[in-house]
Chain A
Amino acid sequence: MSWYVYLPIAHQSVFLPLVLGLGFVVGLLSGLFGVGGGFLMTPLLIMIGIPPTVAAASDSNQIVAASASGTYAHSRLGNVDFKMGLYLLAGGIIGGTGGVQLIKLLRQAGDADFVIQITYVIMLGVVGGYMLVESLQSLRAAKSPAGRAPAPAAVPAKDSAYNRFLSSLPFQSNFHKSGIVLSPVVPLFLGALVGVLAAIMGVGGGFIMVPVMVYLLRMPMHVVVGTSLFQVLFTCVDVTIMQAWSNHTVDFLLALILLLGSTIGAQVGAKLSSKLKAEQLKVLLACVVVLVMVKMLVGLLLTPDSLLSVHGGH
């Protein structure tokens, strides 16, 4: 028996342990942070020679397994806010549909790729940088003597303009799992916004959704991870079926190998996430996001080996 497996849709052999390892690492991130991992896995698959269109579609298929595994693990821990997840999902579907139309218009106008790539780098830089600075400050504060003092039973939320705006919205509803009272209009709107960005950038959007949940919806970090995975699961089910149906680019064998690695990784990630503090999780995720941004930036600045690359993918 060979250590290589031939992929029938990619028309390419791959080294089995390497792909299993990639699946495990991305699954680990998925279970830890509640991100799908598409923003990381697709470029890695392209690096090992998988055509971009096949890499993107097959990656979506493996994320279905990793996110199902992660959602299951987190739901047993009580870390999934299904109500919030459904509102975000509904918004994401609306935004994603709009985003697809927007990208068509951008392509017709030309320079769409320029807009996409620069938006991607700026988004990753801003989100990752902010998370890193904010979570490092929180960690330092927790280590200081004042930070170690027992917290008061109830800390009143800062009465900022943003909080006043949230309170003024209609249809206020209690999201028990997240411990917040909020108008469903907010997750619907933010879900739609992330959906537009995800469609423009060609990714699932988990790595944008997580900071949105933490900073704009003020959800607790552990509930954020489980709820994000719940949403990612549905997004990727849709993408897998559409890619297989319309473009014939889902390589089942590639997805199968990746998902064997990623489902194990997702379970390990879920266990680790429950052992780590929220701020530690944020620092780690911020580092991953910043690393991806730096990698992309370097890729944009260095002279490429070849001026041609196979068209398609993220």
Chain B
Amino acid sequence: MKRQMMLPILAGCLLVLAWSLVTAAQAAPEATPSPAGISLDPPALVIDTFYAGRSVSLKGEVADGERVILEVLGPREDATFDVKGRVGPFWLNRGLVKVENAPSLYMLLLPADAPDAARLESLGLGMGQLKTEARVAATGHNADQLFAQFLEFKQGAGLYLQRAGAVAYAPAGPGRRAFSASLDFPSALAAGEYQVIATVLREGAAPQRLEKSYLVEDGHFLGLIKGLAFSHSLLFGVLCVVIALMAGGVMGLVFKGGKGGH
């Protein structure tokens, strides 16, 4: 009798969890123009349960003849890596490297008529600039080589990218032209305040920078889990164990009740 009652209760608990997952998806807010001259649609990115990367549309306007280079920077973070080295025939971890103050995400979107690499560097744009801002802490290793490895690692994970021809122009009235780009936020994305920077270049004039903060936030269900995991960690750990035991028990009962049960 007890077992007969347990099965629907435990199955109900799992159903509630599944329902929470489905209802966690949220509608994105509507687009609003930015006072800085850049508008993003959606104006904030909500990471819901089924988030798998998202394109954000960026639009703005400049004068004819001006060129626009776009950057997106994630929150600055410190990351620790194992560094592999050769010991005889083996590649083994040979120490740690800490890369501090590097953005979690970096996108550099260039128009088709972008300046060359040397000009970009002189403007303080591109991944070379990140090196001047980040700190590499590693004893017994070459910091420059490690930072190059760090960039390769981030590019391999799809978190750092540089894309040419990604900023498009269109006419927008007398003496003006509109620019637009699609910011492809990757599936590996953490909530936080991101910076969108448009550098406007005009022949014979100093470059102008338009900056806008872009908020990436967790949906309700994910926020609830994170809140529990970080603010009530012991309770969270116990809950994880209880749910795992329940799931194991439910499956045991389901299989026992099944045709091929023991």
Q: Which A residues have a C-beta under 8 Å from some C-beta of B? A: 1-2, 4-6, 8-9, 11-13, 49, 61-62, 64-70, 72-73, 76-77, 113-114, 117-118, 237, 240-246, 248, 250, 252-253, 255-256, 259-260, 263-264, 266-267, 270-271, 274, 299-312
* In-complex Cβ contact of B229 among A65, A248, A266 (8 A): A248
A129 vs B209: C-alpha distance in the bound complex, in angstroms? Answer: 64
Known A5-B50, A309-B81: A267·B244 in contact at CB below 8 Å: no
Known A67-B248, A303-B91, A308-B150: A6·B222 in contact at CB below 8 Å: yes
Pairwise interchain contact A305-B249, C-beta atoms closer than 8 A: no
Pairwise interchain contact B229-A11, C-beta atoms closer than 8 A: no
Cβ contacts under 8 Å, A253 to chain B? 21, 49, 225
CB-CB nearest in chain A for B99: A308
CB-CB nearest in chain A for B98: A311
Pairwise interchain contact B153-A252, C-beta atoms closer than 8 A: no
Q: Which B residues have a C-beta under 8 Å from some C-beta of A? A: 17, 21-22, 47-53, 79-85, 87, 89-94, 96-97, 146, 149-150, 152-153, 156-157, 187-190, 218, 222, 225-226, 229-230, 233-234, 236-241, 243-245, 247-252, 255-256, 260, 262
A187 vs B85: C-alpha distance in the bound complex, in angstroms? Answer: 40
Secondary structure call for the A interface: helix
Closest CB pairs A-B (n = 7): A244-B237, A68-B248, A4-B52, A13-B187, A263-B251, A72-B252, A69-B248
Pairwise interchain contact B96-A311, C-beta atoms closer than 8 A: yes
A314 vs B156: C-alpha distance in the bound complex, in angstroms? Answer: 22
A271 vs B48: C-alpha distance in the bound complex, in angstroms? Answer: 38
Cβ contacts under 8 Å, B94 to chain A? 113
Cβ contacts under 8 Å, A6 to chain B? 47-52, 187, 222
* In-complex Cβ contact of A9 among B48, B146, B229 (8 A): B229
* In-complex Cβ contact of B51 among A4, A69, A263, A270 (8 A): A4
Pairwise interchain contact A64-B244, C-beta atoms closer than 8 A: yes
